[in-house]
Homo-oligomer: A and B are copies of this chain.
């Protein structure tokens, strides 16, 4: 696999100069076009120590407009990072659309080194490669242009290069004992590298192998691949957009998913909305449950067990009220409530999960999402904000995301608060006529109401695809507020208690 990068590729000063100027100009022009485009560029730099990974990144920082450029190198995970899901450190550093992100010691480094040092088996390594593949696929499906550079040196070239660096007083610091240790493990390192490239070199996130011995050659080679990659992706996106613009509405109509058979029971229609809890019993129950939750949260903090609660439900179903009954039982340092409204500019410029990734809290805390990533398969699906391919793909993406959370030991619980259409109207009317509640009611609420049936089907599909043992949906009969709040609190306590046992 690496023989093509042991051919002694070099560029003379003259050849380099002849190419450099044009290339830099083309890259800057393309960066300008990219700025207006709807996809980010993700460049991964990996490879043999001494093959010029960071030097090449520096060179690109010199050539490109750095205002549109992100550069990140991942060191040992910080405390902050260790307390969150494995990929959190990568998720939050992804570039927005229109920008180029360059990554050193990326998501490939830890599994690769773990494998070389024999800390994980071949099966575990393969499984971690699969996870990376799924991660990159999700980004690529969202439009990201991903190019991964493997900077290579032959065993003797690496030795030569490390010795040369050591002799140069200005570069000496670059060579560490670890570099020499890696050099002595060259064969194992290259075998693991090959397995990496084999498993994660896909059509949508290809690896490019670059010979790293000549700085002039490697800079020009990387920059040329980057130029061609951006140029090609811009062309592909233009093609895609013009196709969608030109499609007749019949074609687009046929692409919209039809759901369960009409008239059949859904997961919501099967709920018994008659369930209720008398006010007196509720007051007592609330006190007991809140007391229990208060103890559990302290224990969770102590043990470092995080939890995430997701609240979805009809407008006016009582999400806010239920959430307040939870938070009022807790220490304010132990939780955060995240209100999900329209994405900000910054959020809209990234993968749709990014705005949730950024809210992962540290160990031992509870994060409560008032609306969540499920908007993708609810409002965005029903209102057509997401294209059919996008929301259909989202079920799998959400399951992958939640598996990351579960693997990190996070307790994840999802609530759908269900009321009848009549009850909703009653609550809307009540809001309208109560001065301090009127602001909560918008025209949009009335509009959403008209698509009740579509939402009901969307909820049904959502529960079908995403209710798992690791992250179950709790369907809450919320026609009676007291019953609903008690059921929510009870579920939270139960799941927390089980995780803390």
Q: Which residues of A contact B (CB under 8 A)?
A: 1, 3-5, 7-9, 11, 15, 123-124, 126-127, 130, 133, 141, 191, 194, 197-199, 201-204, 206-207, 209, 217, 220-221, 224, 228, 231-232, 234-236, 238-240, 242-244, 246-247, 250-252, 254-258, 260-261, 263-267, 270, 388-389, 392-396, 399, 403, 460, 463-469
A9 touches B265 (CB 8 A): yes
Given contacts A3-B463, A203-B141, A258-B228, contact A8 B123 (CB under 8 A): no
Q: Which residue of B lies closest to A467 (CB)?
A: B1
Cα A194 to Cα B465 with chains together (Å): 10
B201 touches A3 (CB 8 A): no
B4 touches A464 (CB 8 A): yes
Most chain B CB inside 10 Å of its own CB: which residue of A15, A201, A202, A242? A202
B203 touches A392 (CB 8 A): yes
Cα A59 to Cα B5 with chains together (Å): 57
**Contacts of A239 on B, CB cut-off 8 Å?**
243-244, 247, 251
A465 touches B203 (CB 8 A): no
Cα A11 to Cα B263 with chains together (Å): 10
**Contacts of A235 on B, CB cut-off 8 Å?**
250-252, 254-255
Cα A201 to Cα B469 with chains together (Å): 16
**Other CB < 8 Å A-B pairs besides A5-B464, A201-B396, 15 of them?**
A3-B467, A4-B460, A7-B265, A9-B261, A9-B265, A126-B127, A197-B465, A203-B389, A204-B393, A228-B258, A235-B251, A235-B254, A239-B247, A240-B243, A242-B247
**Contacts of A394 on B, CB cut-off 8 Å?**
203
B4 touches A463 (CB 8 A): yes
- Separation in Å of the A469 CB from the closest CB of chain B? 6
A396 touches B1 (CB 8 A): no
- Separation in Å of the A360 CB from the closest CB of chain B? 20
**Contacts of A220 on B, CB cut-off 8 Å?**
261
**Contacts of A9 on B, CB cut-off 8 Å?**
261, 264-265
Cα A202 to Cα B393 with chains together (Å): 6
Q: Which residue of B lies closest to A5 (CB)?
A: B464
**Contacts of A270 on B, CB cut-off 8 Å?**
7
- Separation in Å of the A126 CB from the closest CB of chain B? 6
**Contacts of A263 on B, CB cut-off 8 Å?**
15
B396 touches A261 (CB 8 A): no
B206 touches A265 (CB 8 A): no
Cα A10 to Cα B350 with chains together (Å): 43
Cα A170 to Cα B463 with chains together (Å): 38
Cα A39 to Cα B37 with chains together (Å): 31
- Separation in Å of the A73 CB from the closest CB of chain B? 26
**Contacts of A201 on B, CB cut-off 8 Å?**
395-396, 399, 465
| Closest 4 pairs between A and B when the two form their complex, measured CB to CB | A203-B393, A243-B243, A235-B254, A130-B130
**Contacts of A8 on B, CB cut-off 8 Å?**
265
Cα A252 to Cα B250 with chains together (Å): 27
A258 touches B217 (CB 8 A): no
Q: Can you list 23 A-B pairs with a CB-CB distance of less than 8 A?
A: A1-B468, A3-B267, A3-B464, A3-B467, A4-B267, A7-B265, A7-B266, A8-B265, A9-B261, A9-B264, A11-B261, A15-B263, A123-B127, A130-B130, A130-B133, A194-B468, A198-B403, A203-B395, A206-B396, A217-B261, A220-B261, A239-B243, A239-B251
Given contacts A399-B198, A464-B1, contact A217 B257 (CB under 8 A): no
- Separation in Å of the A197 CB from the closest CB of chain B? 8
Most chain B CB inside 10 Å of its own CB: which residue of A123, A239, A251, A266? A239
**Contacts of A197 on B, CB cut-off 8 Å?**
465
**Contacts of A389 on B, CB cut-off 8 Å?**
203
- Separation in Å of the A365 CB from the closest CB of chain B? 26
- Separation in Å of the A343 CB from the closest CB of chain B? 21
B236 touches A255 (CB 8 A): yes
Cα A204 to Cα B123 with chains together (Å): 26
A251 touches B238 (CB 8 A): yes
Q: Which residue of B lies closest to A129 (CB)?
A: B130
- Separation in Å of the A264 CB from the closest CB of chain B? 5
**Contacts of A252 on B, CB cut-off 8 Å?**
235
